[in-house]
Amino acid sequence: MGLAGSLQQQHRQTVLEMVAAADGRHLEALSLAEAQWPSGAVYLLGYVAEMHLKAAYARLVFGRAAAIVEWPDLVDQAKRDPAWRLLLTTKAAGGVHSLTLWKQLLLDARARQPGLSPLPATVRQTSHDVVDWLDRNWAVELRYAAEFATMPEFEAMKMQVEWLTGAYGALVGES
């Protein structure tokens, strides 16, 4: 069985497993950089950011870290929530890889979560700044570029992504 087929069988993934997968890609990005492959490292780091944003959103929507992320349920949610409908059906939404749109969905879910204290203003503002920086400097389409990043650019990307991964607890209200 191919790896992709295996993945489809394991589709029922928990939020914790999503975060663990993101952490795995993070370590692989660091290894690429250590081997002086900054473009591959930057490319993977973009996915690390995307996966953390999605995991944090799923954590809020499904209520606990051990919850199984049923993406079809989220598709059903699109039928009820105009923001989700827009994300999934429109070109404007930029597909499901737009870091800006996932950040907005995450902050929206955080604000609507009953029982959670408001997100500290500094965390909210830094989330805006970091994701804006990342969205300016990473896109899925970079896979078509042969060499596009330098080691200083990798270091800059790493700093932004690591702020985001470090803020996971605050974003989901666990710290």
Question: Which residues in this chain contact other proteins in the complex, by CB under 8 A?
Answer: 42, 82-83, 85-86, 89-94, 98-101, 104-105, 107-108, 111-112, 121, 124, 132, 135-139, 142, 148-150, 152-153, 156
C-alpha distances in angstroms, 103 versus 61, 99, 124, 148, 164? 14, 6, 10, 25, 11
Q: Which one, 35 or 86, has the nearer CB to other proteins?
A: 86
CA distance linking residue 120 with residue 138, whole number of Å: 27
* Least gap, CB of 63 to other proteins (angstroms): 18
* Least gap, CB of 80 to other proteins (angstroms): 12
CA distance linking residue 65 with residue 162, whole number of Å: 20
Q: What is the DSSP letter of 143?
A: G
Q: Which one, 77 or 137, has the nearer CB to other proteins?
A: 137
Q: Which one, 17 or 94, has the nearer CB to other proteins?
A: 94
**SS3 of residue 14 by DSSP:** strand
Q: Which one, 32 or 42, has the nearer CB to other proteins?
A: 42
Q: Which stretch of DSSP H or E encloses residue 68? A: strand 68-69
**SS3 of residue 120 by DSSP:** coil
Q: Which one, 14 or 106, has the nearer CB to other proteins?
A: 106
* Least gap, CB of 79 to other proteins (angstroms): 10
* Least gap, CB of 125 to other proteins (angstroms): 9
* Least gap, CB of 105 to other proteins (angstroms): 7
CA distance linking residue 40 with residue 60, whole number of Å: 31
